[in-house]
A = this chain, B = another copy of it.
Amino acid sequence: MSQKKISSTEENYLKAVYSLSEKISENSYVSTNSIADEMQTKAASVTDMVKRLAEKTMLTYVPYKGVRLSGLGKKIATDLIRKHRLWEVFLVEKLGFTWAEVHPIAEQLEHIKSDELVHRLDAFLEYPEYDPHGDPIPDKEGKFRAKPEILLSDLKISEAGIIVGVKMHSPQFLEYLDSKKLVLGTKVEITEIIEFDQSMIVKLENESSFNVSSKICKNLYIQMA
């Protein structure tokens, strides 16, 4: 049932295309250049690779237009995302890594091939719905649960909510959040919005209050209380 033979490199291209597809409208094409950017490689390499992946029916490739994932391609990509996020939960919940550290390790672990392993890992972790960054973990069929939509920057004065995810995943950003105790589950209330730079004064449950930059507000997902 699972895929015939696919290299980690091919998997990574499919993952990149999937992620780029999410950012554009439903039936438009993902461009060669955007893939090259995402993969930190050159456009010429991308052209070669997408031809191979098209050959394997994982995506459709229209020269000078771009690519679109096929059902098979989407399945492989969401399987990877599922594995990546399950491993991240494992690394944080069981091994005590911080959310800032897990990405590069999960990036390797996601390529381990064993359906049984994924299934057992999922059970061991008690079927988690979200990874340590608040991103939903797709099920075996590649279906995603609702993902957080509201950003802290969308809140108005006196509104409150709970931090449920991060949009940006850079370790620096995550470490900064840790230092400010702006972690998942934290309840925040907006007490003031500074107009000229769009920063916010945020009050935590422990009554401490401080200024949060616009950049940070735009990268924190909130569940309204």
Contact = CB atoms under 8 A, between A and B. Distances in A.
Interface of A: 91, 94-97, 101, 104-105, 108-109, 112-114, 116-117, 120-121, 124
B109 A112 contact: yes
Contacts of A104: 114
Contacts of A95: 117, 120-121, 124
19 contacts: A91-B117, A94-B124, A95-B117, A95-B120, A95-B121, A95-B124, A96-B120, A97-B116, A97-B120, A101-B116, A104-B114, A105-B112, A105-B114, A105-B117, A108-B112, A108-B113, A108-B114, A109-B109, A109-B112
Main SS at interface, chain A = helix
Contacts of A124: 94-95
Protomer copies: 2
Contacts of A113: 108
A90 to B, nearest CB: 10
Contacts of A96: 120
Contacts of A114: 104-105, 108
A120 B124 CA distance: 17
Nearest to A111: B108
Given A97-B120, A108-B114, 6 more contacts: A95-B117, A95-B120, A96-B120, A97-B116, A105-B117, A109-B112
